[in-house]
Structure 1
């Protein structure tokens, strides 16, 4: 990813939208995400080219934590 390093799909990491990522490097920043009453801690490790402002792209492992069916777009807070 844009932050360097090696990540695997099961890591709880995210890619931050380009508008925010490119303003100030957020590499390694810890964030807390809450979706449908479930909370997880994740690390910003990449930038998301296709994401809208204030949106995140989750790894498969993090997405599956919030929605085991892995179906559709998730809405939450971070």
Structure 2
């Protein structure tokens, strides 16, 4: 599976701490070896921790459960 960095942004937790989040499009291999038509979107912190997208501008750190809100430019 290959991943392509397509965006990065900052998000904040309830206490105001800022987290750099990277958005990737991953292209998983199909069972027959061909590339699928739609990429899978994943999010990670700059340090590698996985982030779940909850919808709109809300995210959640997978390991700790801390909820984040995307900073809008």
TM-score (norm 1): 0.35
TM-score (norm 2): 0.37
**Structure number with bigger Rg:** 2
